[in-house]
Amino acid sequence: MPALQCARVDCAVAARVTGCRALGYPLWKGSPARPLLAQADGFVPTAEGADPRAGPGDVRLLTFKITTPQIRDVPVPRGALDQPGSRWAGMSGAGVLTEDDLVAGVVRSHAVAEGVGSLTVTPLDAVTALPADTADRFWAALGLRDTAGLLTVPAPAHSRLPVAAGQVVVGDIPQEPVAFVARATVDRLADALGGGRVAVVCAVTGLRGVGKTHVAAAFARQRAASGCGLVGWVAAESATELFTGMTAVAGTTS
């Protein structure tokens, strides 16, 4: 399987990294004798946990807000995840992935924030706070030289697609990941949708993590680059996001 890409979370803006997920073996899902894999879905608020007294060498921690309904009755304790009475033992060390399959951080064994589903995450750019020789070993394992090789989420404004005169691009189309390999699926999608005026609905199917989002994003970028009059990227992680995105698209055509 291809190695996962890595990303740094831009904490200089107040936003959300939506569509995040983490896989782990918390006690609430199974038992010490028979651990079961749990998938936690949620988002990372970029401005959460800012410390105005932090020094240049302090690590800025992230918070993973879990929205999976099953964990509403399983509060995360403040302190060690494996403390007596905690049902979150086994979740530390889980990678937090964005909707673009980018690893943004790792769940810590010690939770700073309190809440029903609020896990503390060490971001990948925290590697810079380690001793130089240790940091070099981490970067080598990740296939990077330093933080310059990390993609940024949310995508910075300067990375967004250029818009031609009279063209409308709605929504934040995911940026092309490093070493992205073009797939024939993108061409087949273009052929299926065609260039006529008849509305066509086309679904990209497959297991989670195989790259469906990247295929759709590559097609959207292709259409925008070709000068298509209206290109809309709508997140459908929840009914609210879907409604908000569709409203934004409708607003540009009214």
Per-residue pLDDT of 14-25, as tens digits, reads 888 999 999 999
Domain ranges of the chain: 5-153, 160-253
Predicted local confidence at residue 158, as pLDDT? 46
Residues of the chain scoring pLDDT < 50: 158
Catalogue the E-assigned strands of the chain.
5-9, 16-24, 38-45, 62-66, 79-80, 95-97, 102-107, 110-111, 118-123, 151-153, 168-170, 230-232
* CATH number, domain 5-153, options 2.160.10.10, 2.40.10.10, 2.30.40.10, 3.40.50.300: 2.40.10.10
* Distance, CA of 64 to CA of 151 (rounded, Å): 19
Predicted local confidence at residue 196, as pLDDT? 64
Helices (H) and strands (E) in the chain, counts: 4, 12
Region at 40 (left for phi over 0; alpha for psi -120 to 50; beta for the rest): beta
Predicted local confidence at residue 144, as pLDDT? 82
